[in-house]
Amino acid sequence: DYPYDAAQYIVWEGNTLYNLCGESCVAYIFGDTVENLLIEWKAKPSSLYNKIIYGGKSATTGIADLTDMVSVYNGNPVPLAPMLYDPISRSVLVSPARTARLLKDYNFIVGCKISGTTGELKASGIPHWIVLEKVAQDGVNRGWVEVWNPYSGRRELYTWREFIFSCYPLYGLLIERTKD
């Protein structure tokens, strides 16, 4: 443990794994640990585990990999873009209000860019996965977002503008919330 290590770094099977933001997001949404997810994912027949975790390294993950991880928990993943498609403008429209409405029924894993030094969201930087937790609208296309960032292992608050600049173009996966 080095004081500047990201919270998402873990020692696994004798090796330090660094690219675990996707795994961390999925485990976080399902209230599990990354270690438990990796154990279950590895044991799952025909999973993408060996493609991502190989030779003591961890590869970056995409939507197909996240979807495969979600299947460990029997979750229902849904592509993000079609849910934000607007038939009138015939394009994907992203606004605080539309996003907040989707958060009622779905957990969001969103691709963004972060600083390699601090892990904070920024307009350009290292590709990274985060969990969008809350959206508070303040005007037509302004507001605040709360995200869970696996780099820091905690929730962080950003303006809608900071979030959108970091996540443009919006890319990610929705996971249907279970009804209690």
Q: Is the pTM for the entire model greater than 0.85?
A: yes
> Cα 58 to chain center, whole Å?
16
- Return the C-alpha torsion angle 34, 36, 41, 44, nearest 10: -170
The confidence score (pLDDT) of residue 161 equals: 95
Output the average pLDDT for the chain: 92
Average pLDDT over residues 149-173: 94
Higher pLDDT, 175 or 47: 175
Average pLDDT over residues 81-108: 90
Show the beta-strand stretches assigned E in 21-84: 53-54, 57-58, 77-79
Per-residue pLDDT tens digits for 97-133: 999 999 999 999 999 999 988 999 999 999 999 999 9
Per-residue pLDDT tens digits for 10-20: 888 888 889 99
Please report, for residues 21, 28, 37, 59, 86, the alpha-carbon distance to residue 145 in angstroms, rounded to integers and kept in the order given.
19, 18, 27, 28, 22
The 3-class SS string of 43-61 reads: HCCCCCHHHHEECCEECCC
Q: Is the pLDDT of residue 2 over 60?
A: no
